[in-house]
Structure 1
Amino acid sequence: MKTWVLLILHVSFFFFFQKGSCLLNSSDYPNQQELDRVVKLPGQSFNVSFAHYSGFVKVNEEPKRELFYWFFEATEDPSTKPLVLWLNGGPGCSSIAYGEAEEIGPFHIKADGKTLYLNPYSWNQVANILFLDSPIGVGFSYSNSSEDLLENGDIKTAKDSLEFLLKWFTRFPQYKGRDFYITGESYAGHYVPQLAQAIVRYHQSTSDKSINLKGYMVGNALTDDYNDHLGVFQFMWSTGLISDQTYKLLNDLCDNESFIHSSSQCDKMLDIASDELGNIDPYSIFTPSCTSGSLSNKLLKRIHSTRRVGENYDPCTEAHSAVYFNSREVQKALHVDPSVAPSKWETCSDIVNTHWKDSPRSVLDIYQELIHTGLRIWMFSGDTDAVIPVTSTRYSIDALKLSTTSPWRAWYHNGQVGGWTQQYAGLTFVSIRGAGHEVPLHRPQLALTLIKAFLSGTPMPTLSKHSDS
């Protein structure tokens, strides 16, 4: 993900789930599981106690579409731990590049692009973690038809992701019925609830209960176009990034309709706001930007995906992944056949992003539907992100009109305020203090505390319980 957000509105549609047949074949039975095991990776100078697997799952026969996954068992007692799926957004950005290699995965990449190191805050300490590159055209996921890459959208993505899960559980039958959660960030604010909805509706139409969905959690998530852009204006003004006059004119001239049918007056104000921001990283406004490449703040350019922000901050970590995953030795170790490997592996696909077919203005209707099913639903927000800021998420939650069950309060880690939280009937909100758009990269310890609380279904720690995190 390479550019700045604000034009986050797209073609409106009513999301619905289209049932597809389960395409089982011999390669999806458990013997394939062992073939997918990763023995050792280039640049790995250390041993690990957990097993991990990578490979492809076919989700469509003709044209043939195969999605790439990388699965890590928990570091201890994987048979007792839940299964968590992580999705990055874009649309068009790789969950391997970001979620695994920069954020919550166990293997991170050093600046040379060749050497791995262990992430001490990997989420596979508390769960079995599954990373999926979705849709086709993202990372190593592919179609044998180039035209197929031009037909991606929210509906197709949810349908293929459901098909992937059904076949993945056939390949890994030991995880059937295991407590299952979906997590992700940014444009995955669409992917995650849409996939949860697809699973719920699949269960309503079949006796198959192999996917034991318990809940989902999204961070700095694209949720509702109106609330998202309203929150961006307010955040930029309240943090001193734009002038009073620009803030007033943005609100006056950039109404919801202006983002669907471009207005020259609104476009001019967005350019002015971009100039006032200066050369900062809008995904993490208080940390240095990457100077090795171009960084554009242009508010007219759409971004729905993740970028790079780190606690030991390296704003250029995206480049490390590009070097590593373009290595043929790495691809071989991950079971990527050269015949289907991209000529150039990219962290985000411009083709996928620019040819996106459908994206609803809001997914709040899905929240309203799923809250009544009893799923555990959490939303979290790094509070230094100006792309999909904490103000946007709070506006969207407010639009759901949920009653408060536990009032706003600070939560703690190691005696320090880690952020703030509020519990509603059917939803929990958590902010993470000092984190940008990619919370687990910028505040990995706090993100690990977050996932522990989410999976256990317990509130974020209080001051007296901070040592438990």
Structure 2
Amino acid sequence: MSGASGPLAVLLLVLVAAVSASSTGNGESWRAEQERDRVPRVPGQAFNASFAHYAGYVTVSEERGAALFYWFFEAAHDPASKPLVLWLNGGPGCSSIAFGLGEEVGPFHVNADGKGVHMNPYSWNQVANILFIDSPVGVGYSYSNTSADILSNGDERTAKDSLVFLTKWLERFPQYKEREFYLTGESYAGHYVPQLAQAIKRHHEATGDKTINLKGYMVGNALTDDFHDHYGIFQYMWTTGLISDQTYKLLNIFCDFESFVHSSPQCDKILDIASTEAGNIDSYSIFTPTCHSSFASSRNKVVKRLRSVGKMGEQYDPCTEQHSIVYFNLHEVQKVLHVNPVIGKSKWETCSEVINTNWKDCERSVLHIYHELIQYGLRIWMFSGDTDAVIPVTSTRYSIDALKLPTVIPWHAWYDDDGEVGGWTQGYKGLNFVTVRGAGHEVPLHRPKQALTLIKSFLAGSPMPVLSDLRSDM
């Protein structure tokens, strides 16, 4: 462990102790732990699932009494041959169970009545074993016995807790040790994912432990760099006709591009004007209908919430988040998912306003982490739904340009299975960028079929399909 010092050294000692403690007990204890976490069937499930799934808690700090909730789904076919993929939602303060699982890439999506679930034909567990985590503590079903924890979350501790979680989870599921592992996520996970990747690689270097066999990561509509994210939003809103020329000019004058998350009072006033001009639309998906309920009113304010998560495809439902609130508050659902009974007594929320407003350390840019991780040779992809006005495609393109990476594959269209343009893509040395046509902030919700094509290409390390690929398959 030479070379490790300060907080990193302490974290590594905790990880070593955790692994040692688990290995001194019954060598087969993990089988009992898996069986304890197995979910036989969830309420309102009117179909049979061909795959096993598990839910429960992993303690990330005995001292703080902090535990993260997970829900894990084995691949639908031959899970032993498939990689392990972690999905994280952002906020900060939003539940991966609510969004990533319940309405995006998970096998089960919540029904419109909030009383059951249906199968997602475009689930990512068709190509991988998928793990969802409610992170950090205080999000979703995750908790801490130290009340101050909920008021002191931030980027650094979230990465540390997630690393401890993964190390301990792999002790419970040792069949996935050294399995190809990929990180994915969206929105504020634009911080979570590269920061966790950095923590994993530094752990590898400091200890030689490669139990977590990280091969790469992919983030969508991701918060990346305060300056470029802000600059890109205002330009996107103006070019799509959401705001006036005058408001666009004032945004550029009064909103400090270096302070994307913590804006000034003057900037806030102009943002309110921009929101009024745009009207009652869903800023996360500007061309789709809004959810007409009191629940959705705050969410549809353009630019008011620049750090949250949010909503096309076949039979698009703009109220999916509301359905999840009903379902995951059901006692019978919480019981079958092995939710801590104490946690079940309080109302489950898709996003925690307390965590969001009390967020501590937030890096202004993670571009330096990209530079570091590219040197490791990781597979790094960024994708962007092009109808999102919260972290739009313009923001992501400016951030990528700031990396100053040479182009390997020029900008071109990619195609879905029906021969329609699915979006556009460009390959850089060390990074691949993909846009998804007609998708909003939650790409797999708005364009599920195209999102499945995306994850297939990413895991295979192959370029997005072009028209000649489809013709050769005919």
TM-score (normalised: structure 1):
0.93
Root-mean-square deviation over aligned CA pairs: 1.8
- The answer to whether residue 457 in structure 2 is matched with residue 456 in structure 1 is no
Alignment match, 2:342: 339
1:218 aligns with 219
| Aligned AA (1:135) | P
Contact conserved, 2:84 with 2:131, CA < 8 A, in 1? yes
**2:191 equivalent to 1:165:** no
Q: 1:427 to 1:261 in 2, by over 3 A?
A: closer
Moved more, 361-370 or 301-310: 301-310
2:185 paired with 1:195: no
1:268 deviation in Å?
Answer: 2.8
In structure 2, the residue matched to 1:208 is: 209
Name the counterpart of 1:390: 393
| Partner Cα separation in structure 2 for residue 97 and residue 386 of structure 1 | 21
Partner of 1:242: 243
Identity of aligned residues (%): 70
Report the more deviating stretch, 26-35 or 38-47: 26-35
Mark the CA change 1:259 to 1:461 in structure 2 (over 3 Å): closer, same or farther: closer
Do the aligned partners of residues 308 and 259 (structure 1) sit closer, same or farther apart at CA in structure 2, a change above 3 Å counting? closer
Match of 1:466 among 424, 448, 470: 470
Q: CA deviation at 1:257?
A: 5.2
**1:323 is aligned with what amino acid?**
V
Distance 2:154 2:263 in 1: 22
Tell me how far apart the structure 2 counterparts of residues 120 and 258 of structure 1 sit (CA, whole Å): 40
Determine which of 419, 438, 455 is the counterpart of 1:434.
438
The reply on whether 1:405 has 2:399 as its aligned counterpart is no
Separation in 2, partners of 1:402, 1:317: 38
- How far, CA to CA, are the matches of 1:169 and 1:260 in structure 2? 34
Answering whether residue 129 of structure 2 is matched by residue 128 of structure 1, we say yes
How many residues align? The count is 454
1:178-327 aligned within 5 A:
178-256=179-257, 262-293=263-294, 294-296=296-298, 297-298=300-301, 301-308=304-311, 311-327=314-330
Structure 1 counterpart of 2:346, one-letter code:
S
Q: Secondary structure at the match of 1:458?
A: coil
Q: 1:245: how far off?
A: 1.9
Question: How far apart, in 1, do the equivalents of 2:315 and 2:423 lie?
Answer: 19
Give the match's secondary structure for 1:256.
coil
Quickly say closer, same or farther: Cα 1:435–1:311, change in 2 above 3 A. Answer: farther
Change (3 A) 1:453 1:69: same
> Per-residue deviation at 1:17?
5.2
Q: Secondary structure at the match of 2:362?
A: coil
Which moves more between the two structures, 414-423 or 311-320? 311-320
How far has the Cα of 1:126 moved from its partner?
0.3
After superposition, where does 1:14-33 map in structure 2 within 5 Å? 19-20=11-12, 21-22=14-15, 23=18, 24-25=21-22, 29-33=30-34
1:219-250 Cα distance to aligned partner (Å, 9 max, x none) = 00000000001000110011111112221222
Q: CA deviation at 1:298?
A: 4.7
3-state SS in 2 of match to 1:450: helix
TM-fit CA distance, 1:267: 3.0
The amino acid across from 1:212 in the alignment is: N
Distance in 1 separating the partners of 2:262 and 2:350 = 30
Structure possessing the higher relative contact order (Cα contacts under 8 Å, 6 or more residues apart): 1
Rounded Cα–Cα distance in structure 1 between residues aligned with 2:260 and 2:213? 39
Once residues 356 and 292 of structure 2 are traced to their aligned partners in structure 1, the CA distance between those partners, rounded to angstroms, is 24
Match for 2:421 among 417, 423, 433? 417
The residue number in structure 2 matching 1:9 is: none
- Partner letter of residue 283 of structure 1? Y
Partner in structure 2 of residue 445 of structure 1: 449
Q: Distance in 2 between matches of 1:300 and 1:370?
A: 31
User: Displacement, 1:309?
Assistant: 5.6
Contact 1:258 1:266 (C-alpha < 8 Å) held by counterparts: no
Shift of 1:315: 1.0
Q: Is the 8 A contact 1:228 1:388 kept in 2?
A: yes
- Matched letter for residue 156 of structure 1: R
8 Å contact kept, 2:281–2:302: no
Residues 271 and 304 of structure 2 are in contact (CA less than 8 Å); yes or no, is this contact kept in structure 1?
no
- Give 1:405's aligned amino acid: V
1:345 and 1:44 mapped to 2: Cα distance?
20
1:359–1:261 CA distance, 2 compared to 1 (3 A): closer
Find the aligned partners of 1:364 and 1:189 in 2 and give their Cα distance: 10
Deviation at 1:342, TM superposition (A): 4.8
What is the CA–CA distance in structure 2 between the aligned matches of 1:463 and 1:204, rounded to whole Å? 42
* Alpha-carbon separation, structure 2, partners of 1:139 and 1:463: 42
Between 1:159-168 and 1:323-332, the stretch displaced more is 323-332
**C-alpha distance 356-260 of structure 1, shift in aligned 2 (>3 A):** closer
TM-score normalized by the length of structure 2: 0.92
- Contact 2:151–2:359, Cα closer than 8 Å, also in 1: yes
| 199-208 or 144-153, which deviates more | 144-153
Assess if the C-alpha contact under 8 Å between 1:88 and 1:306 holds in 2. Answer: yes
> Does 2:80 correspond to 1:79?
yes
Displacement after TM superposition at 1:303 (Å): 3.6
**1:460/1:352 Cα in 2 relative to 1: closer, same or farther (>3 Å)?**
same
CA contact (8 A) 1:267 1:300 kept: no
Q: Aligned residue for 2:4?
A: none
CA distance in 2, matches of 1:180, 1:103: 20
Distance 1:94 1:450 in 2: 23
For the residues of structure 2 that align with 1:420 and 1:36, how far apart are their CA atoms? 41
Secondary structure (helix, strand or coil) at the match of 1:430 reads strand
Partners of 1:86 and 1:131 within 8 A in 2: yes
What whole-Å deviation, never above 9, does each CA across 1:284-327 have from its counterpart, x for those lacking one? 00001111124235567344221136542111111111111111
In the alignment, the residues of structure 2 paired with residue 384 and residue 211 of structure 1 have an alpha-carbon distance, to the nearest angstrom, of 35
- SS of the residue corresponding to residue 181 of structure 2 reads strand
1:256 Cα shift? 2.4
Please give the per-residue CA displacement for 1:317-350, whole angstroms capped at 9, x wherever unaligned: 1111111111111111111131343511111111
In structure 2, the residue corresponding to 1:199 is in which secondary structure? helix
**Aligned equivalents of 1:83 and 1:270: distance in 2?**
41
Residues 464 and 189 of structure 1, relative CA distance in 2, 3 Å threshold: same
Per the alignment, in what secondary structure is the counterpart of residue 344 of structure 2?
Answer: coil
> Are the aligned partners of 1:140 and 1:342 in contact in 2 as well (CA < 8 Å)?
no
Quote the Cα distance in structure 2 between the aligned partners of 1:168 and 1:175. 9
Question: What is the identity, as a one-letter code, of the residue corresponding to 1:69?
Answer: Y
Structure-2 change in CA distance of 1:157 and 1:70 (3 Å): same
